[in-house]
A and B are shown apart, each in its own frame.
Chain A
Amino acid sequence: MSNLTSLTLADALRGLREKRFSSEEITQAHLQAIEAARGLNAFVLETPDHALAMARASDVRLARGEGSVLEGAPIGVKDLFCTNGVRSTAGSKILGEFRPPYESTVTANLWRDGAVMLGKLNMDEFAMGSSNETSAFGPVINPWKSRGSNQSLTPGGSSGGSAAAVAADLVLGATATDTGGSIRQPASLTGTVGVKPTYGRCSRWGVVAFASSLDQAGPIAKTVEDAAILLRSMSGHDPKDSTSLPTDVPDFPNFVGRSVKGLRIGVPKEYRSDGMPPEIEALWAKGVEWLKDAGCDIVDVSLPHTKYALPAYYIIAPAEASSNLARYDGMRYGIRGEGANLTDVYEATRAEGFGDEVKRRILIGTYVLSAGYYDAYYLKALKVRRRIADDFTVAFERVDALLTPTAPSAAFALGDKSADPIAMYLNDIFTVTVNLAGLPGMSVPGALDATGLPLGLQVIARPLDEGTMFSVAGALEKAAGFGAKAERWW
């Protein structure tokens, strides 16, 4: 039965529809794989009873020929999504045993379409991190290892559990979220496909907020087609999120495999940073060649404010976080600390409940918003953000999509960067601009480096043009012929 876990989502859906196996069988196979992979620490909560009940209900619908587009397919859910009656922690201690009395819109859409929930996936606390090391549940271990080495590597973050679970065939696909690169960077580090759609494409309702003007949900999947199938179900207008876009959802899978002939692909020169590992530069050049061979026109473009994106992000995101996380006061849900008076209780609750990185960002956010500094930091960052977004608008007058590396390195060892916040923040150098500008971006595995670790390429498209993005990503996937899997050691 174990071969059922190596199927792609698209093949699994076909097999379910053709009744070659039942949802209960493929769900059971994944539950066994999850149990055998506890050493990866990808899950913070396994929900086998829940999964089997959903699978049996799917089997009834499939038998009647009433199955929906994801009917019977077992997936994982990042623990940032609130799930009705199922513990949701955001990777933090402060939420305790919080069981939401409601379901996030994105997960509700997936269940509406027949998907089965296997459990909740590990992540950096409140999605603040690029290595999964800030999780209150301990870091996820990347299924990939350097050739000949036994060292534990990071799967990236913050959606490290989602990426590792997909890479290790524990789930057919997973939900994830991306505020500065948290879907795309872990996808790059685990040889998976990760999509951050246009801001507003997926509802944020029921997703624990980090930085509301940047947060977007999206899928991590085994293939470009699988990611397109998942995003189609996750997307859609939601009146409960005022920033959710009232636009129709295109049939994303339809764009995968389309010809990219005649598309103009921009290569931004500012992404060619000093000290870029030669293998990443080589993969980028290969990606350009692949698209040229597929009939694309390659255009050099300039995004002059790129180097200011991370510093602007580290004002805007902490400022929004310090405000969003004010709700964790120990009064209505989560843990409550001890204190002599109300303020003492607040301070004790938040001191006990938040980890170091979350505290650091709340302090920065509080500082940049405090009297006397608001204009110098926060307002300045919002103006720089406009400059960054304008760079893209100008570039997209000349090109249909952009091609860049996803991350500045392959997976690194756990502990390597955890002592230096800025070194950790630099992981998002190629991804964060996309969040600031609200654009869709995705990572596709391109090649293995010399030590056998996966490296990803990033495709960026115009707002709401995920269709073109999927076509370009599909062309890259086909040309790269990646297909590598982590060798099983867990």
Chain B
Amino acid sequence: MAIDAETVRKVARLARIREREDRLEPLAAELNGIIQWIEQLAEVDTEGVEPMTSAVAVTLPMREDVVTEGGDAGAILANAPRSRDGFFVVPKVVE
């Protein structure tokens, strides 16, 4: 299951991180080192073990489906890289 430059390219694309062409090989080597170290988990017998998805055994609480805050577009837009007329300005999404 070795990771090659092509796999790094694909994963970086999935993660939406641009990686320079000359970084793909070194990254593949780094990630392989880490993944190989991780693979010692195969030694652990996990037959019939339930995956642990939460650090505490509590059921998630429910709340009323009502609006609790909002109506402050100015505060929400205050950190936007670009905004106009109360909207975020983003690159064209639909051609």
A residues with CB within 8 A of B: 96, 98-99, 101, 198-200, 213-214, 239, 242-243, 245-246, 305, 307-308, 311-312, 314-315, 322, 326, 329-336, 339, 341-343, 345-348, 350-351, 354, 359-360, 362-364, 366-367, 370, 373, 376-377, 379-387, 389, 421-422, 435-438, 463
Report how far A238 CA is from B82 CA in the complex, Å.
Answer: 33
**Is there an interface contact between B31 and A364, defined as CB atoms closer than 8 Å?**
yes
Quick one: given A305-B44, A335-B81, A347-B16, are A367 and B56 in contact (CB under 8 Å)? no
A383 & B52 in contact (Cβ 8 Å cutoff): yes
- Give the A-binding residues of B (Cβ under 8 A): 1, 3, 7-8, 11-19, 27, 30-31, 33-35, 37-44, 46, 49-56, 58, 60-61, 63, 72, 75-76, 78-82, 88, 90-93
Q: How far is the CA of A490 from the CA of B1 in the complex (A)?
A: 50
Inter-chain CA distance A213–B58, complex, in Å, is: 13
Closest A residue by C-beta to B74 = A101
- State A214–B39 Cα separation when bound (angstroms): 21
Docked Cα-Cα span, A179 to B30, in Å, equals: 23
Rank and list the top 4 A-B pairs by shortest CB-CB distance, nearest first.
A438-B55, A382-B51, A383-B46, A333-B79
- Minimal Cβ-Cβ distance residue in B for A349: B16
Do A342 and B93 touch (CB < 8 A)?
A: yes
Main secondary structure of the interface of B (DSSP, over half): loop
- Is A308 within 8 A of B44, CB to CB? yes
Q: Jot down 13 A-B pairs with beta carbons below 8 A, ordered by A.
A: A326-B16, A332-B88, A342-B90, A360-B30, A360-B31, A360-B34, A366-B11, A384-B44, A386-B52, A389-B52, A421-B33, A421-B34, A422-B37
CB pair B81 A334 closer than 8 Å: yes
Interface pair B61/A242, CB less than 8 Å apart? yes
- The reply to whether A213 and B54 contact each other, CB–CB distance below 8 Å, is yes
Q: A245-B58, A342-B93 are in contact. Are A363 and B15 (CB under 8 A)?
A: yes
Contact B11 A363 (CB under 8 A): yes
**Cβ-Cβ contact count across A and B, 8 Å cutoff:** 163
Q: Is the CB of B17 within 8 A of A242?
A: no
Contacting residues, chain B, for A213 (C-beta < 8 A): 53-55
Contacting pair B41 A380 (CB below 8 A) = yes
Q: How far is the CA of A351 from the CA of B19 in the complex (A)?
A: 7
In the bound complex, do residue A346 and residue B16 qualify as a contact, i.e. CB atoms below 8 Å apart?
yes
Q: Across the interface, do B38 and A332 meet the contact criterion of CB distance under 8 Å?
A: no
Q: A314-B34, A347-B18, A363-B31 are in contact. List 17 more A-B contacts (CB 8 A).
A: A101-B76, A101-B78, A243-B55, A314-B37, A326-B16, A331-B81, A342-B91, A342-B92, A347-B17, A360-B34, A364-B35, A382-B53, A383-B50, A384-B44, A385-B51, A386-B50, A436-B55
Per the bound structure, the CA–CA distance linking A331 and B88 in Å amounts to: 7
- Contact status A311-B38, CB under 8 Å: yes
B33 adjacent to A438 (CB under 8 Å): no
Contact status A242-B60, CB under 8 Å: yes
| B37 and A311 within 8 A (CB) | yes
- Is there contact, CB below 8 Å, between B41 and A341? no
Tell me if A101 and B75 are in contact (CB < 8 A).
yes
When chains A and B are docked, how far (Å) is the Cα of A186 from the Cα of B27? 28
Pairwise interchain contact B41-A332, C-beta atoms closer than 8 A: no
Identity of the chain B residue whose Cβ is nearest the Cβ of A383 in the assembled complex:
B46
Chain A residues near B76: list those with CB within 8 A: 101, 332
CB atoms of B16 and A329 under 8 A apart:
yes
Assembled-state Cα–Cα distance A381/B51 (Å): 8
